[in-house]
Amino acid sequence: MTTTAEDPAVVGKLSTLDRFLPVWIIAAMAAGLLLGRLIPGLGDGLSAVQVDGISLPIAIGLLIMMYPVLAKVRYDRLDTVTGDRRLLIGSLVLNWLLGPAVMFALAWIFLSDLPEYRTGLIIVGLARCIAMVIIWNDLACGDREAAAVLVALNSIFQVVMFAVLGWFYLTVLPGWLGLEQTHIDTSPWQIAKSVLIFLGIPLLAGYLTRRLGEKTKGRDWYESKLIPRIGPWALYGLLFTIVILFALQGKQITSQPWDVVRIAIPLLAYFAIMWGGGYLYGRLAGLGYERTTTLAFTAAGNNFELAIAVAIATYGATSGQALAGVVGPLIEVPVLVGLVYVSLALRKRFTHTSIEASAGVAQ
């Protein structure tokens, strides 16, 4: 998005690309589905070369999508985020206590008779978002510096806690409740690789771009000249990734529509609960619009790259667990795009509240 979080005239200054984003996303999903159905062997071709279990074109799309947003982050302001205990504690509770528990409950409520899909969804719930959430936050004019810190925090916890939580939610807790048990086969190194590839590469590139750009030309030139040039590539990368995602699974999705619906129902509930919970906490904690928005989207998003890679490595590429992982981003993309517009609409309420509070203080 070409507007900044500090700019109040959001709608009036949107570029054509930004203004018609829902149209482009719907067109990208439709194009992907058509390509997947009409071109035999396309899915196999796209998956022939992989990066950490993810199709190379998807990996490229994700890196292109994340780089411009991370190049916009003002890294010299990160200390203003790390000192915000309300934000950091809220993020840890939402992402690592509430998120996996909510997905576990929803998976068992809606998919108790479909163990493969149920397990796949639980794995999705364990994989906290470190990639696509950055662009949702940017589109909703959230706090970029806060997003960078929370994503880094999620990355650290992901390496340390993913396997432990997988063991707990797939084996220990079901055993306590008298439910069917399963297992997860992953290692901290596998998770660390995912983090290094899908966050480390664009983060380093974004940091170096800002550091070198500001050093040679100054901040004014960097933010007024360079950022507008590279900024649109975030959405180009997003649209490219959506086309590839839907093309890879187009045949499977259209041939198993009821299965997709069954998986989509708990996912829709999950996104609503987590985004709403993050938003409610931010409001009650007085975080302000930008950081409340960042908290809500980091709570609602998931690291589908990791979830799909783990599902494929453990259960196989054609397994129900892998399908559940793939359906995750297919539902997440349109839902979180919709929540971007909900956030922008709610922004006015934050502005009005701030004005009223200021007026009360003045009196």
pLDDT of residue 52: 67
Q: Is the pTM of this model over 0.75?
A: yes
- Sign of the torsion formed by the C-alpha atoms of 27, 33, 39 and 45: positive
Mean pLDDT by 10 residues, the chain (363 residues): 43 58 83 83 76 78 86 89 94 96 97 94 90 86 93 86 90 94 78 80 92 94 92 87 80 79 95 96 93 96 80 75 82 89 87 44 39
In the block, residue with structure tokens 């069917």: 180
pLDDT of residue 53: 67
For every residue of 204-245, DSSP letters joined together read: HHHHHHHHHHHHHH-HHHIIIIIHHHHTTHHHHHHHHHHHHH
Report the C-alpha gap between 10 and 140 in whole angstroms. 10
Alpha-helix runs per DSSP H in the chain: 16-19, 21-38, 42-46, 56-72, 79-82, 85-93, 99-110, 115-126, 133-139, 144-167, 173-177, 188-195, 201-217, 219-221, 227-230, 233-255, 257-285, 288-300, 304-315, 320-362
pLDDT of residue 307: 83
pLDDT of residue 192: 81
Contact partners, residue 72, CB within 8 Å, separation at least 6: 138, 144, 206, 227, 231
pLDDT of residue 13: 47
pLDDT of residue 9: 41
pLDDT of residue 289: 94
3's tokens = 């507007």
